[in-house]
Amino acid sequence: MARLERALLSVSDKRGLVDLARALRRRGVELISSGGTATLLRTHDVPVTTVSDYTGAPEILDGRVKTLHPKIFGGILARPTAEHDRQRAAHGIDAIDLVVVNLYPFEQTVARADTTLDEAIEQIDIGGPSLIRAAAKNHERVAVVVDPEDYAPLIAELEAHDGEVGPALRQRLATRAFGYTAAYDAAISNYLQQATAPQPGWPELLSLQLRRVQPLRYGENPHQAAAFYLPSSASGPRPALPYEQLQGKELSYNNLLDADAAWSLARELPGCGVCIVKHSNPCGAATAAVGATAEAFRRALETDPVSAFGGIVGCNEAVDEALAQQLNELFLEAVIAPDFSAEALALLGKKKKVRVLRVRASSPGAAVAGRWRTVLGGVLLQDDDLAVEALAAAEQRSVAAASAAQLADLQFAWIVAKHVKSNAIVLAKDGRLLGVGAGQMSRVDSVELAVRKARLPLAGCAMASDAFFPFRDGIDRAAAAGVTAVVQPGGSLRDEEVIAAANEHGLALLFTGVRHFRH
């Protein structure tokens, strides 16, 4: 065990600092501090010695050098050996047993759009990381704390062991400290590469630290272990989950994949939108008047009630009592929405295994935005596909022009198609999904599947394709099923053949010029 006699405190994040300092003083711990940290403690009548007074050396170079001194680092790095004790005594160096340091808010600074490179450079902490690494290296004797959330465990340890910190806690804190400085350096490296790159794009050397925020029941299959990680910044609070689980069983890997898919589609639907997702693909989606969540769900369920069994429901409005009553009539894995009424929660509570997820108002921002996927021992990265083209501006390539009603159907189908696995074909009418062809190896097969899956009449419906039609066969099959309007990106060598097919069948055909593959 290591008894605390002397502590160095120097923090940017001052949450809980005064309470910690008071707890240390009650144990008779001498406090050494610098700059604003010392000022704050003195304001609250906590006795403290400044670093300058302790070392006898002034802060210089506009504060760039203040803790970089042998009396500080010798006090931290000295091991509990007779030889190190002799050298400390010879140089008048007292042992420092606790280092409480967190770093300049670099990430918060560079997150501002108007931050200049010079301002960012000045937020690169030098002394702080050195103090943290020194204390973490010497955790045999020294405790190091970088996160205000660890103040309470530290105080509890001191109270339980009469002012001493045990080796288990010192080792855990040291491990966290090295991760903290690694994340800080990663943020600096990522920013400087992006700020000084000759052209926009992904940096050559990309660093990212992830923090485990939730263990999961299992992975894609029960024999696979799994966990949920979020990008973790060096400064600021720990990352929060993008949702709050209000009830239900522990989440699995698949639950989160499907919940993400459900919410991603639901939030893009116009008006009151509800979707049902199964194995990452929508098997139902519909809109209704604002507030008519139960009506939107009823319409979505009619698309494919068989596939909806065991699915996940996403709703872009608060779930009310009327919707909850309908949800309880179906076996579901989860429901995700921005909120739930008290009555809805009471009803859903009758099915205790159903996972109820409330989306947080502001989801955590990633340290590096985009979509990640591991492959062949490496990682693929790409920007998120956030585009939703307004079809009123799309290029009309057919003789027949799309009516206002057809344009609305095409817009709905186009939004849904972006969330269907490629090759994706979506049939829709009157703000409701009618049929889906997902993940097929040929586009005409996706058309055939969408037609075959449809339970409701297809006469006069719209069709969306996430990529171009390579042949006219998809158009011919769609027209035979009752499709009267089509939207696709265009760009095939046989576009003219496809356009001719649309004109032969009297279909309205729009080209967006934008593809939405989802593999």
> Where does 332-371 have alpha helices with state H?
342-348
Tokens of 459: 């006469």
Tell me how far apart the alpha carbons of residues 333 and 321 are, in angstroms, rounded to a whole number: 19
Residue 491 contacts residue 513 (beta carbons within 8 Å)? yes
Could you give the 3-state DSSP secondary structure of residue 374? strand
Residue 79 contacts residue 141 (beta carbons within 8 Å)? yes
**Which position among 14, 84, 279, 351 bears the catalytic label?**
279
Angle at 127 (CA atoms; ends 66, 33), nearest 5 degrees: 55
Residue 325 contacts residue 297 (beta carbons within 8 Å)? no
Q: Is 245 exposed, middle or buried (0-12, 13-18, 19+ CB in 10 A)?
A: middle
**Which position among 14, 137, 249, 351 bears the catalytic label?**
137
Q: Across-strand partners of 510?
A: 396, 487
Place of tokens 């693909």: 281
Tell me how far apart the alpha carbons of residues 46 and 38 are, in angstroms, rounded to a whole number: 9
Is residue 429 annotated as part of the catalytic site, yes or no? no
Residue 385 φ then ψ, to 5°: -85, 90
- Establish whether the linkage from the previous residue to 221 is cis, with ω within 30° of 0: no
248: left (phi over 0), alpha (psi -120 to 50) or beta: left
Residue 282 contacts residue 436 (beta carbons within 8 Å)? yes
Residue 408 contacts residue 428 (beta carbons within 8 Å)? no
Residue 308 φ then ψ, to 5°: -65, -20
Could you give the 3-state DSSP secondary structure of residue 371? strand
305 CA to centre of own chain: 31
- To which H or E segment does residue 433 belong? strand 433-437
Is residue 44 annotated as part of the catalytic site, yes or no? no
Which residues belong to the active site?
Answer: 137, 279
